[in-house]
Homo-oligomer: A and B are copies of this chain.
């Protein structure tokens, strides 16, 4: 961003945006945006509460309400209650939700391979470098 073309911060913004645009294009015909997909992926892996999701996604809890509303209305996930704390909603994918998630996950992987085609297998180096930078700083934004 100093000489913009050389700045890592600037490059990261551009790369992140382009990766996002591509992913959303690749998910478009499943009628999922990246955030919806990520939520499905997280819920598929673990039955989060909405607050836990908000924290994990770096989102406002009220935004999660709307996200979950949309996905529930489409029959992709369900809200039930946690037995040990009935205030919390336990989110679970429906069979349709799981099926859609699996399709989306395939596309996501392809999208990422396509996006990083220029660097081939060095994408693993990129992943490692980003992981080292990101891991220690987990304060603001999407956490963990």
A interface residue numbers (CB < 8 A to B)? 1-23, 34, 37-38, 41-42, 45, 58, 105, 108-109, 111-112, 115-116, 118-119, 122-123, 125-127, 129-137, 139-142, 144
Contact = CB atoms under 8 A, between A and B. Distances in A.
* Dominant secondary structure at the A interface: helix
Contacts of A21: 139-141
A142 to B, nearest CB: 5
Given A18-B141, A116-B133, A134-B18, A2 B108 contact: yes
Contacts of A15: 12, 16, 130, 133-134
Contacts of A5: 144
A9 B108 contact: yes
Given A6-B127, A130-B8, A134-B11, A17 B141 contact: yes
Contacts of A17: 16, 58, 140-142
